[in-house]
Amino acid sequence: MGSVARPSIVPIALTVDDRTGYTLWAPPWEEDGEEWQAFLGTSEGETATVHLFPTPAALAAFCRTATDHDLADHPVWPVVVGLGAADLTPDDDHRYDLDGVYDIAAENPDRWAVEELAATIDIVSRLAECLDTAGDDDEDGAASSRAGADDDEDTDEDTDEDTDEETEFPSLAELVARPEIGSLGLGVDAFVGRSGEDAWIGVGGALDELWEDVLEELSAHLDWTGAGTTTLEAYPSAADEDLTDDEDLTDEELTDEDLTDEDPSEAARAGRGAGATVARGPDGSGDRPAAGAVAAAPAEAATAGVSTIRGGSRITATPAAVAAAAEFWEAVGILPVELVVPEGAGVTLRCYVEDVARFLGRDGEVYLFDTPADLARFCAGDEQHDLTEIASWPEVADTDVMPLPAEQDRYDLTELSEVLAEVAGGAAGLVDHRVFAQPVEGVRDVAEYAGLTRVDELLAPTAPLGRAVARGEREPGATLRAEDAALLREAWDEVVAQVGGALVFRH
């Protein structure tokens, strides 16, 4: 998605100095009009820290009882409090071996090596953004911070000039500024051919020169005591920790005392887990440095506490630009809308005539355009459509204000399908019924305009999907069950197919 996803919390594992610790990461979310991201930790004292735990069970025990940390006010935290060790065990995509970067860089630059290095540097950059309090005037700055939402051209210059003076992570700043490291964000194609081979050698050289310093900078902010609930002796050697998730003990098999005072052998038996600390975004606006960078308008959407889903949005406008454009579009009563379906993403226009949705289109077909600029060019033309007769249409046809959809008018229909699949696959308890609200709103409007009676049937109060949507309106915080999600996904996929049939991609 081009916009920030709903709030979520994701278990992650970090391996540093032959120890693996588990924590929680809250990917970028929007609150009070600003974008934030966070990790499980604390900003009290002179040094912001992220709490790490030797097992998922130890993490779960901490989450059940602790309230003095930077994720306590996160919207999803009440859900996390009720999770067990199995739910707080990170998947393979959220395990980061910071000790292993040299080995990866020594391999051939295939897709897996490039993606793993990019992901590792990305998570370290996110940690640094959250933990770096240098130059902060706000004493609460480390608890939650901006996630780099704006696209100010001056930001990079200012950052370059002030890096050494205003960051606690100068080696990391130098590393991510290296062009070779930046190439990791471009994928494996950046390392093809002679120039690509040279770039890959440059990646290895940059890591040889700076990575140990990066780890030293980061280590000053890693709390391996789990906020005082555990000790270093509880961590088995990462080299010896070779258990499958099937061997993990559940929360119910261990007492809280076992979890906080266990010896290394017990910690190893308890398996792998995940924890979280509040992560800081860069102060002010601007894109992050290249490797694994977060785009000005983030292009990833995280499920509620499960994993990251890559949306199909093509909108890259800053929140400030969207807000400025909204003044015109709200005044004329015709609003830009984005729809994301399996076939692609596009923008269109929608208004309401006597409370009935009407789209830019003809005969029940909704016209979608690849970009706001393409949509604007169409609006300036003379082709007839179902919005031509709207009284304010001449203003739309004559304006130079870009049709930029606001957050509440962006509907990623594919994301809900992926979320339901993950819940059915074992992520129960991490996603609540709020997940239905926004995509269903967009679907109902398209169905109304296009006359999609089958969608109405699937969303009827007596149908399984309709009942789930209705429950989301009554009890938005109620979590989805795995046994329901598979059935709901099948129904939702049919809804999306019906809506997709009413969309016409224009060029």
Asked, for residue 488, whether it belongs to a domain, the answer is: yes
SS (H, E, C) 476-493: CCCECCHHHHHHHHHHHH
Token pair 């735990």 is found at 53
Question: pLDDT for 14-38, tens place per residue?
Answer: 999 999 999 999 988 777 777 888 8
Question: pLDDT for 255-305, tens place per residue?
Answer: 443 433 333 333 322 322 223 333 333 333 233 222 222 222 222 333 333
Residues 6+ apart with CB under 8 A from 483: none
Shared domain check, 472 and 349: yes
In angstroms, the Cα distances linking 71 to 25, 38, 39, 356 are 9, 7, 7, 41
Shared domain check, 450 and 391: yes
Cα atoms in the 13 Å half-sphere on the side-chain side of 10: 26
Residue 244: band (very low, low, confident or very high) from pLDDT cuts 50, 70, 90: very low
**Total domains, the chain:** 2
What are the E-state strand segments in 169-296? 222-223
Which of 216, 249, 270 delimits the end of a domain?
270
Cα atoms in the 13 Å half-sphere on the side-chain side of 65: 13
> Backbone phi, then psi, for 368, in 5-degree steps?
-115, 145
The burial class, CB within 10 Å (0-12 / 13-18 / 19+), for 436 is buried
Token pair 């429950």 is found at 471
Asked, for residue 276, whether it belongs to a domain, the answer is: no
Q: Would you state the pLDDT for residue 78?
A: 86
Question: pLDDT for 372-431, tens place per residue?
Answer: 999 999 999 999 999 999 999 999 999 999 999 998 899 999 988 888 888 887 766 667
Q: Would you state the pLDDT for residue 165?
A: 56
Amino acid (one-letter) located at 389: E
Angle subtended by helix axes 464-474 and 482-500, to nearest 10: 110
Domain containing 401 equals 309-507
Asked, for residue 5, whether it belongs to a domain, the answer is: no
Helix, strand or coil, per DSSP, at residue 179: helix
Q: What is the mean pLDDT of residues 138-154?
A: 40
Residue 313: band (very low, low, confident or very high) from pLDDT cuts 50, 70, 90: low
* Lowest mean pLDDT across 309-313, 341-345, 424-428: 309-313
Which of 221, 243, 270 delimits the end of a domain?
270
Q: Contact, 13 vs 22, CB < 8 A?
A: yes
Residues 6+ apart with CB under 8 A from 214: 124, 169, 171, 172, 175
Shared domain check, 504 and 443: yes
Shared domain check, 501 and 403: yes
Q: Would you state the pLDDT for residue 23?
A: 96
Shared domain check, 337 and 452: yes
Asked, for residue 280, whether it belongs to a domain, the answer is: no
Asked, for residue 324, whether it belongs to a domain, the answer is: yes
Supply 312's token pair: 């199909």
* Lowest mean pLDDT across 16-20, 163-167, 196-200: 163-167
* Lowest mean pLDDT across 276-285, 330-339, 396-405, 498-507: 276-285
Angle subtended by helix axes 170-177 and 155-166, to nearest 10: 140
Q: Which helix (H) or strand (E) holds 30?
A: strand 19-31
Which of 270, 295, 318 delimits the end of a domain?
270
Shared domain check, 186 and 82: yes
Q: Contact, 370 vs 312, CB < 8 A?
A: no
Q: What is the mean pLDDT of residues 226-247?
A: 73
* Lowest mean pLDDT across 15-19, 43-47, 120-124, 497-501: 43-47
Residue 390 CB coordination number (10 Å): 17
Shared domain check, 259 and 389: no
Pairing of strands 356-359, 344-353: antiparallel
Q: How far apart are CA 241 and CA 55, in angstroms?
A: 11
Q: Would you state the pLDDT for residue 15?
A: 95
Closest CA to 389 of 397, 399, 400: 397
Buried b (16+ CB within 10 A) or exposed e, 9-30: bbbbbbbbeebbbbbbbbbbbb
Question: pLDDT for 57-86, tens place per residue?
Answer: 899 889 988 888 989 888 888 888 888 888
Longest dimension (CA), the chain: 76
Q: What is the mean pLDDT of residues 447-475?
A: 93
6 has pLDDT over 80: no
Shared domain check, 201 and 318: no
Asked, for residue 17, whether it belongs to a domain, the answer is: yes
Q: How far apart are CA 163 and CA 30, in angstroms?
A: 27
Shared domain check, 266 and 313: no
Cα atoms in the 13 Å half-sphere on the side-chain side of 247: 12
SS (H, E, C) 349-370: EEEEECCEEEECEECCEEEEEC
Percent of the chain with pLDDT over 70: 77
Q: Would you state the pLDDT for residue 238?
A: 80
Shared domain check, 246 and 337: no
Asked, for residue 49, whether it belongs to a domain, the answer is: yes
Length of the chain: 507
Closest CA to 429 of 96, 3, 5, 11: 11
* Beta bridge partners of residue 353, listed in sequence order: 356
Shared domain check, 452 and 331: yes
209 has pLDDT over 60: yes
Asked, for residue 278, whether it belongs to a domain, the answer is: no
Q: How far apart are CA 14 and CA 371, in angstroms?
A: 39
Kindly write down the DSSP assignment for every residue of 398-461, as one continuous string.
H--S--PPPGGGEEEHHHHHHHHHHIIIIITTS-BGGGGHHHHHHHHHHHHHHT-HHHHHHTST
Shared domain check, 410 and 330: yes
Q: How far apart are CA 11 and CA 53, in angstroms?
A: 11
* Beta bridge partners of residue 346, listed in sequence order: 339
* Lowest mean pLDDT across 144-153, 261-270, 426-435, 484-493: 261-270
